[in-house]
Amino acid sequence: MGRISIRDIHNMKCRGKKISAVTAYDYTSAQIVDAAGVPLVLVGDSLGMVTLGYEDTIPVTMEEMLHHSRAVVKGTNKALVILDLPFLSYQINTGEALQNAGRALQEGGVQAVKVEGGQSIVSTVKRIVEIGIPVMGHIGLMPQSVHALGGYRVRGQGKEEALELVHDALALQEAGVFAVVLELVPTPLSQLITKRLDIPTIGIGAGPYCDGQVQVFHDILGLYTDFLPKHTRRYSEGFKVFKSALETFTEDINSNSFPSEDEGFSMDESVIQEIEDILA
């Protein structure tokens, strides 16, 4: 059985089966996510903050996205892998957008790309879809536009902004996206959008009525403790578990209990004796 396809994802919505998605950035985490049976793996440009230490997603380059995507693809066998096209890789002109979307598949090895924006990028989305590249949309809070949006905030709580998001979602569907991410959108609005769309909605901070949910690998497993978004549920205390293991590792080295004789390799004692005789 091959990888999950965009048709499989569409059929999940038709059957009322919820879609899980995880954002992962490397080979090892991708292996774990794929083994858990998660159908969608997103190589998010949030890797800039989570793995590279940037303040936001703006500095992330196409080369960085391709580097991480190759690793994630190698770690998966079943999941549909989607690459976030980073800031300025698709906004300047359609030609560059097509080239970078093509690089995502050719060089990154992914099966689809994700872009942020609604009605303003419909023409670009159409062209990418027309050349045979599956596209996932992303509306609501759009991290690449965080400065223009006035920070990380819920979008669509007022009438005008809510109506704009509905029109954005419908326009993206018409342009040919196979799914759309709704980020930090009020629950009633995400429910309305989900009912009106034939394509799946994938929520993050958008309530329980979306067709699926996406969360970051590191958030789910509790791999850092400095920040936990309201929309995240921590399923493991990974930071504490790994910290404890590393502390024990250091203690074992200091007490000379690691490595033991059993964790080393032997050789013929006569060889050592010969070497000592030579060196004498």
Write the pLDDT tens digit of every residue in 174-191.
Answer: 999 999 999 999 999 999
**Whether residue 183 lies in the annotated active site:** yes
Confidence of residue 280 (pLDDT cuts 50, 70, 90): confident
Q: Average pLDDT, stretch 197-208?
A: 98
Please write the tens of the pLDDT for every residue from 33-70: 999 999 999 999 999 999 999 999 999 999 999 999 99
**Looking at residue 1, what is its pLDDT?**
67
Residues paired with 81 in a beta bridge: 41
Give residue 224's pLDDT.
82
pLDDT at position 225 is: 77
Question: pLDDT exceeding 70 applies to what percent of the chain?
Answer: 99
What does the pLDDT read at residue 231?
83
**From CA 59, how far away is CA 49, in angstroms rounded?**
10
Q: What is d(CA 62, CA 45) in angstroms, rounded to the nearest whole number?
A: 9
In this predicted model, what pLDDT tens digit does every residue of 113-144 receive, in sequence order? 999 999 999 999 999 999 999 999 999 999 88
Greatest Cα-to-Cα distance within the chain, rounded to the nearest angstrom? 89
**Lowest-pLDDT range, 11-20, 63-72, 152-161?**
152-161
d(CA 77, CA 105): 16
Residue 36 half-sphere exposure toward CB, CA atoms < 13 A: 13
SS3 116: coil
Residue 30 in contact with residue 75, Cβ under 8 Å? yes
Half-sphere exposure of 127 (CA within 13 A, CB side): 14
Amino acid identity for residue 144 in this structure: Q
Write down how long the chain is: 280
pTM of the model: 0.93
Closest residue by Cα to residue 24 from 61, 63, 60, 76: 76
Mean pLDDT, the chain, rounded, equals 95
Task: Let me know if domain 6-236 sits in CATH 3.20.20.70.
Answer: no
Which residue in the list 96, 160, 183, 251 is annotated as catalytic? 183
Structure tokens at 261: 């004789």
> 120 near 92, Cβ under 8 Å?
no
> Where are the domains positioned within the chain?
6-236, 241-279
Has residue 103 got a pLDDT over 70?
yes
Residue 146: predicted pLDDT: 74
147: pLDDT strictly greater than 80:
no
**pLDDT band with cut points at 50, 70 and 90 for residue 83:** very high
What is the structure's pLDDT at 25?
Answer: 98
